Amino acid sequence: MSNKDIKLVQLPSPNFVPERDKDKPLMLEVSHLGIDFGGLTAVNEFNIGISPTEIAGLIGPNGAGKTTVFNLLTKVYEPTRGTILLDGKDTHGMNTIQVNQAGIARTFQNIRLFDKLTVEDNVKIGLHNSIKYHMPTGVFRLPKYWKEEKKAHDKAMELLSIFDMQDMAGYIAGSLPYGAQRRLEIVRALATGPKLLLLDEPAAGMNPSETSELMENIEKIRDEFKIAILLIEHDMNLVMGVCESIAVLNFGEIIAKGTPNDIQNNPKVIEAYLGSGSINGGEKEGTLPDSSDASKPDAEQMSTGHLASPDAMIGGRKEES
Ligand SMILES: Nc1ncnc2c1ncn2[C@@H]1O[C@H](COP(=O)(O)OP(=O)(O)OP(=O)(O)O)[C@@H](O)[C@H]1O
Ligand SMILES: [Mg+2]
């Protein structure tokens, strides 16, 4: 089914999820999440519900707080306020490792691989949640060690095959082309066996054909692994093409939630991107919000405006700090 046919349904809570997941408990339920850095409120009143097989998007202008949300979900930062329920379990008090073991895996805006290790070893590091042996087994290379090693190798190859990367298993990760490093990071995250995969700008630096392949693979990952995916992305073709629901962040707060169609036609969203200076407003016809739409209901209530095409919202993005 194409994401153009997607229908979101309102839950008893203030969340929208794809219709097929409506009777399943949410995989991620975030309420009133926020963090202050000194005097700066980077994220505030962040509420989101993601169902178990949903592909959700988080978009917004540079500096809106998107990566900070990921850092809160993965406990890189301890939230100043709010709750995060993963598969019904409160992650309060968990550290980054415990949150990963509980089922959240991520990739980073800046690639973080062990670039001196092989591709296979990078994936094997991700397997630590599932392959375990006691210290003496490893030190003395006891039979169980070789059994587990074989298991890890097979699993790593199986995971690499998602992106057709088995042939690269022996390469040094740092020597791979950029797009392949990005894919390897996703494979490594998947190796930890997540229930929720967070992707921070997975298409950044990819060429158009790599990006469209990535789009297909994101859907394939969701279908094969039956997991929820939340992705941050500036590439609107990817976001609008693959996400079933989208939340838009501006100055740390959600200003709109809805289907890709709702979002790309939402005057508040268009205004946020215009305000960021990251839109090509004057040069593209039909990208400016119509003044008659200014009185449309709150975007959080799934407003139905019109205008701006997805590509109109793509901004020239700054390099990550
Ligand atoms: N550790 C920190 N200390 C102080 N301020 C921070 C910290 N981390 C993030 N911020 C601030 O929080 C705000 C949101 O940053 P964040 O990186 O989350 O934005 P973003 O939406 O991911 O932007 P981009 O699209 O450019 O990646 C920015 O003003 C940033 O400077
Ligand atoms: Mg970011």
Tens digits of per-residue pLDDT, 194-207? Answer: 999 999 999 998 88
Closest residue CA from atom 10 of ligand 1: 42
Q: Is the CB of 250 under 6 A from ligand 1?
A: no
* CB 65, CB 52: distance < 8 Å: no
Q: Is 109 in the pocket of ligand 1 (CB under 6 A)?
A: yes
In this prediction the pTM is: 0.82
CB 262 within 8 A of CB 62: no
CATH superfamily of this structure's domain 3-103+194-313? P-loop containing nucleotide triphosphate hydrolases (3.40.50.300)
Ligand 2 mean position to 167 CA, how many Å? 32
Report whether residue 37 contacts ligand 1, using a CB cutoff of 6 Å. yes
Look at residue 294 and tell me whether its pLDDT is greater than 70. no
| Ligand 1 atom with least separation from CA of 69 | 18
C-alpha to C-alpha distance for 279 and 216, rounded to whole angstroms: 27
Q: What does DSSP assign to residue 118?
A: B
Q: Distance from the CA of 81 to the center of ligand 1, in angstroms?
A: 17
Nearest ligand atom owner, CA of 42: 1
Residue among 252, 251, 247, 230 nearest 16 (CA): 247
Q: Is the pLDDT of residue 47 over 90?
A: yes
pLDDT of 68 > 90? The answer is: yes
Record the tokens describing residue 228, joined without a space.
């929820």
Q: CA-to-CA distance for 256 and 266, rounded, in angstroms? A: 8
Rounded average pLDDT over 63-77 = 97
Report whether residue 60 contacts ligand 1, using a CB cutoff of 6 Å.
Answer: yes
Q: Do 9 and 237 touch, CB atoms closer than 8 A?
A: no
pLDDT at 129 over 80: no
Handedness of CA 54, 55, 61, 62 (dihedral sign): positive
pLDDT band at 138 (very low <50, low <70, confident <90, very high): low
What separation, in Å, do the N-terminal and C-terminal C-alpha atoms of the chain show?
Answer: 38
pLDDT of residue 66: 97
> Which of 33, 46, 66, 235 best tests ligand 1's pocket when mutated (most atoms within 8 Å of CB)?
66
pLDDT at 16: 83
Task: Say if ligand 1 is within 6 A of residue 179 CB.
Answer: no
Whether the predicted pLDDT of 122 surpasses 90? yes
**What number is the average pLDDT over the span 91-95?**
96
- Contact (Cβ atoms closer than 8 angstroms) between residue 183 and residue 125: no
- Atom 31 of ligand 1, residue of closest alpha carbon: 63
- Residue 321 CB-density burial (10 A; 0-12 exposed, 13-18 middle, 19+ buried): exposed
Q: Which bound ligand lies closest to the C-alpha atom of 71?
A: 1
Q: Is 219 helix (H, G, I), strand (E, B) or coil?
A: helix
Q: Which atom of ligand 1 is nearest to the CA of 40?
A: 5
What's the pLDDT score for residue 274?
Answer: 67
CB 18 within 8 A of CB 6: yes
Burial (CB count within 10 angstroms: exposed 0-12, middle 13-18, buried 19+), residue 169: middle
Atom of ligand 1 nearest to the CA of 201: 27
Q: Which residue has its alpha carbon closest to ligand 1 atom 25?
A: 62
64 lines ligand 1 (CB under 6 A): yes
247: pLDDT strictly greater than 70: yes
User: What pLDDT sits at residue 18?
Assistant: 87
pLDDT of residue 34: 97
Ligand 1 pocket, residue 281 CB under 6 Å: no
Q: How many whole angstroms separate alpha carbon 286 and alpha carbon 300?
A: 23
Measured in angstroms, how far is the CA atom of residue 109 from the centroid of ligand 2? 6
Give the tokens for residue 224.
């094969």
> Which residues of the chain are in CATH 3.40.50.300 domains?
3-103+194-313
Report the pLDDT averaged over residues 260-288: 64
**In this structure, which residue's CA is closest to atom 9 in ligand 1?**
68
Residue 288, pLDDT > 50, answer: no
Q: Is the CB of 67 under 6 A from ligand 1?
A: yes
Instruction: Tell me the ligand closest to 39's alpha carbon.
Output: 1
- Residue 315: CB within 6 Å of ligand 1? no
CB-based burial label for 231 (10 Å; 0-12, 13-18, 19+): buried
Burial 241-274 (b: 16+ CB within 10 A, else e): bbbbbbbbbbbbbbbbbbbbbbbbbbbbbbbbbb
